[in-house]
Amino acid sequence: MTLRHIVAWKLATDDAAKRAEQAQRIADDLNALRDVVPAIIDINVGPDVLGGGNWDVALVADFADADALDAYQNHPAHQAVVGYVRSVVADRVAVDYEL
């Protein structure tokens, strides 16, 4: 079973320039985990490009199974990114499903 992990974040700032900067940093930091966390099959993260009240950043990542997702979530490199994300995010939504 392959597990797809989807997460979207709304950033806390109302400043458009700061929101764009924070969204890009989240995307860059999470995409960089591709070569660091062995459990990742594939990961794609990017900021919203259309705006209009949508969520600000989205992640789509694939893992072999729930244990691999857990290994990713608990990996020290991921935890380092999580610290920054939590410092700038107002809300988060996530879903995991089998492919």
Residue-range domains of the chain with CATH: 3-98 (3.30.70.100)
Q: What pLDDT, on the 0 to 100 scale, is given for residue 35?
A: 94
Question: 60: pLDDT confidence band, cut at 50, 70 and 90?
Answer: very high
Question: 78: pLDDT confidence band, cut at 50, 70 and 90?
Answer: very high
Question: 3: pLDDT confidence band, cut at 50, 70 and 90?
Answer: very high
Sheet with 57-63: list strands edge to edge: 40-47, 57-63, 3-11, 89-98
**Cβ atoms of residues 26 and 85 within 8 Å:** yes
Arithmetic mean of pLDDT over the chain: 96
Q: Which residue has the higher pLDDT, 2 or 54?
A: 2
DSSP code of 1?
-
Q: What pLDDT, on the 0 to 100 scale, is given for residue 51?
A: 79
